[in-house]
Structure 1
């Protein structure tokens, strides 16, 4: 199993702690260090809603101006902006 996230995220921290406490092997990818592959993100979007993927309260989200875009109507545009400026 692979967990994707950032070290400073409390939710990611809880997930990592749970995995360790329950002796579940996992890999951790810190996407602040390793850039995310657009193909991988698009694969996820076949399984989840785009709104789940983005931290809409995060600074990066606001700095990129994604708050003003409608994720339902402009999801591909948002993804393009995010992956190219991540």
Structure 2
């Protein structure tokens, strides 16, 4: 089963969910704005994808952080930050059990089509 992590009202998450529904692909949706992100999951994302891929540095949540918070110097610091501010995660995060991707562009659609 595919796990889709995101925020329900995010346009990119909506596109991904609509695409998955249209293809008849079953998935579980985890709204981390409502349900949060656990440390184990966030740490796995940081290790597999890297902080630069997982953290959204273009959003308003990022711009509201203090310079000290923005200077996170370790994966552990990034994990703590996204647990406190889940909106910092680029969306959607899609976990197929074999692959882990962020965003929903051509590359992500091709990977899902290959399932």
Q: Deviations over 1:2-28 (max 9, x none)?
A: 100012222111110110000000111
Do 1:5 and 1:31's aligned partners in 2 also have CA atoms closer than 8 Å? yes
Indicate the structure with greater strand content: 2
Question: Aligned pair 1:27/2:28, yes or no?
Answer: yes
Question: Aligned pair 1:38/2:39, yes or no?
Answer: yes
Aligned to 1:8, the other structure's residue is in SS state coil
1:42-53 aligned at under 5 Å gives the runs 42-53=43-54
Do 2:46 and 2:79's aligned partners in 1 also have CA atoms closer than 8 Å? no
Do 1:64 and 1:82's aligned partners in 2 also have CA atoms closer than 8 Å? no
Which consecutive segments of 4 or more residues in structure 1 shift more than 4 A? none
Do 2:6 and 2:30's aligned partners in 1 also have CA atoms closer than 8 Å? yes
Quote how far apart the aligned CAs of 1:85 are. 4.7
Distance 1:12 1:85 in 2: 18
Distance 1:20 1:77 in 2: 35
Which residue in the other structure is 1:83 paired with?
83
Question: How many corresponding residue pairs?
Answer: 84
Q: Which runs of 5+ in 1 are unaligned?
A: none
Q: Deviations over 1:27-71 (max 9, x none)?
A: 1111110010011110122211211112212222222236742x6
Do 2:5 and 2:30's aligned partners in 1 also have CA atoms closer than 8 Å? yes
Q: Over aligned residue pairs, what C-alpha RMSD do you find?
A: 2.1
